């Protein structure tokens, strides 16, 4: 009996890695599904007899699906059991990726991509909350960090691999392989990811009340500014590097960014459960300093690499930090708050492309890093002031947990 008690206590202090990695794989498939058309524009365009610009809208309509569906869909399904809902979202990717692979109609492909975005919005809203419920409160940050690994890995490694796969076997088999991976993931989730009940009707809060919870709005506001700043520059990194005299080094600069992002993820996973507030402040400040460096020393390759590296580390921290802060601020309504994070994130992606395009057209690529500072300074001030709710210190979190 004593040995069994020791084993149970030990199991509670270890991360359930297999289940968390299953959630991370779901995120990997989601991001890869979103971005794969961008690397296969000529092949898809030739097959569907449309221009590359129209193929690019397959990414746009995916983002629109996530943007419009995340909040209402999560609010509607709050009472559902969590694992079946998670598996429904993953199963949706089996259907939409298969339909994309088999479709010879551009409008039908657009519809499939829209619903892929819908399933993605639901899935991203579930992952952080599910990971947090799999561990005790003292380990929630690390659990969310592991569960969120899939997105950055897909961005840094998966998208180039997906483009290579599409070029090797064809874009249709590439999407069918994504469907096969989703089928395998369904079995993994059923085996290793625990189920949890939905939220009882009497405990459900309206979306408006969740939005008004102390801490939720500061987290969303800081995240929106941070991700908007990121997308203004990242979307137009090629013109900026050309302006800086490094147009031939785009692939190497992006490799530095991806590797640095992985370092940021690792730092976050190690420190987040005790230093979330400090990490948010440090990553926001570091991103601002990187923007200043990129703006002031655009003619120096060494400064560009250093600035991009610091930016990558800061951005690697961001998804887990904001997801964890949102989950802690919302408590039992974490899934609804996560749907707001998904929505705000997609607004920032779209806004970054729009604002960055206007700046590029009217002021030139050199102004892009300076525009980031205009967003990041207020974000840093707001994060600093949100010390009671939103981004509390470790002592405040421990006190709230004890109560």
Q: Tokens standing for 230?
A: 């990121």
Give the pLDDT score at 221.
96
- Whether the per-residue pLDDT at 394 is higher than 80: the answer is no
Residue 386, token pair as written in the block: 């949100």
Q: pTM for this one?
A: 0.81
Of residues 45 and 39, more confidently modeled: 45
Mean pLDDT of the 152-179 span = 82
DSSP E strands in 163-307: the ranges are: none
Q: What pLDDT was estimated at residue 249?
A: 83
Top pLDDT among 81 and 349 is at: 81
Q: Does domain 12-193 have CATH number 1.20.1250.20?
A: yes
The proportion of the chain whose per-residue pLDDT surpasses 90, expressed as a percent, equals 49
Check if the beta carbon of residue 294 is closer than 8 Å to that of residue 259: no
Question: What pLDDT shows up at residue 388?
Answer: 83
Tokens for 72, please give them.
């209402």
Query: Per-residue pLDDT averaged across 277-299, rounded?
Result: 93
Across 242-262, average pLDDT: 85
Distance CA 167, CA 347 (A): 31
φ, ψ for residue 164 (rounded to 5)?
A: -65, -40
Torsion over CA: 220, 221, 223, 228 (sign): positive
- What are the residue ranges spanned by the domains of the chain? 12-193, 207-398
* Region 224-244 average pLDDT: 90
Categorize the per-residue pLDDT at 8 as very low, low, confident or very high, splitting at 50, 70 and 90. Answer: very low
3-state secondary structure of 297: coil
The predicted pLDDT at position 105 comes to: 95
Q: What is the mean pLDDT of residues 81-85?
A: 95
Q: Which of 71, 61, 67 is nearest to 114 (CA)?
A: 61
Least confident of 150-154, 180-184, 221-225, 291-295: 150-154
**CATH tag, 207-398:** 1.20.1250.20
CA–CA dist 150, 156 (Å, integer): 10
Helix, coil or strand: residue 117: helix
Question: What is the rounded average pLDDT of the residues 270-288?
Answer: 94
Q: Would you give the DSSP letter of residue 194?
A: P
Same CATH topology for 12-193 and 207-398: the answer is yes
Listed in order, strand segments (DSSP E) in 22-125 are: none
């Amino acid at each position: 009996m004593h040995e069994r008690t020791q084993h149970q206590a030990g199991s509670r202090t270890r991360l359930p890695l297999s289940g968390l990695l299953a959630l991370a794989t779901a995120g990997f498939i989601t991001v890869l599904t979103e971005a794969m058309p961008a690397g296969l524009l000529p092949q898809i365009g030739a097959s569907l007899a449309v221009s590359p610009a129209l193929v690019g809208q397959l990414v746009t309509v995916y983002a629109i699906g996530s943007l419009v569906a995340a909040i209402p869909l999560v609010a509607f399904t709050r009472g559902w059991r969590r694992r079946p809902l998670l598996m429904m979202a993953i199963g949706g990717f089996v259907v939409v990726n298969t339909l994309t692979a088999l479709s010879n109609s551009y409008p039908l492909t657009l519809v499939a991509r829209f619903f892929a975005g819908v399933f993605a919005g639901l899935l991203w809203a579930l992952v952080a909350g599910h990971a947090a419920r799999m561990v005790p409160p003292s380990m929630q940050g690390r659990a969310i960090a592991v569960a969120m690994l899939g997105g950055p890995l897909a961005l840094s490694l998966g998208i180039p691999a997906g483009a290579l796969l599409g070029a090797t076997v064809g874009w249709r088999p590439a999407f069918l392989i994504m469907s096969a991976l989703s089928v395998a993931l369904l079995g993994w989730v059923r085996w290793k990811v625990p189920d949890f009940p939905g939220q009882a009707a009497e405990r459900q809060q309206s979306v408006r009340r969740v939005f008004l919870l102390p801490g939720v709005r500061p987290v969303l506001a800081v995240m929106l500014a941070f991700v908007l700043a990121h997308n203004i520059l990242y979307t137009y990194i090629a013109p900026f590097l050309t302006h800086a005299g490094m147009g031939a080094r785009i692939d190497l600069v992006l490799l530095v960014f991806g590797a640095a992002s992985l370092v940021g993820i690792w730092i976050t996973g190690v420190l987040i459960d005790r230093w979330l507030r400090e990490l948010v402040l440090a990553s926001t400040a570091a991103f601002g300093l990187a923007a200043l460096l990129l703006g002031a020393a655009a003619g120096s390759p060494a400064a560009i690499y250093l600035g991009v590296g610091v930016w990558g580390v800061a951005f690697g921290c961001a998804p887990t930090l904001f997801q964890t802060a949102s989950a802690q601020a919302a408590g039992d309504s974490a899934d609804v708050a996560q749907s707001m994070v998904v929505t705000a994130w997609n607004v920032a992606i779209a806004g970054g492309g729009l604002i960055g395009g206007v700046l590029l057209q009217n002021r030139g690529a050199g102004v892009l890093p300076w525009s980031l500072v205009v967003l990041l300074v207020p974000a840093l001030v707001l994060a600093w002031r949100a010390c009671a709710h939103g981004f509390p210190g470790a002592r405040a979190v421990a006190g709230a947990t004890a109560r």
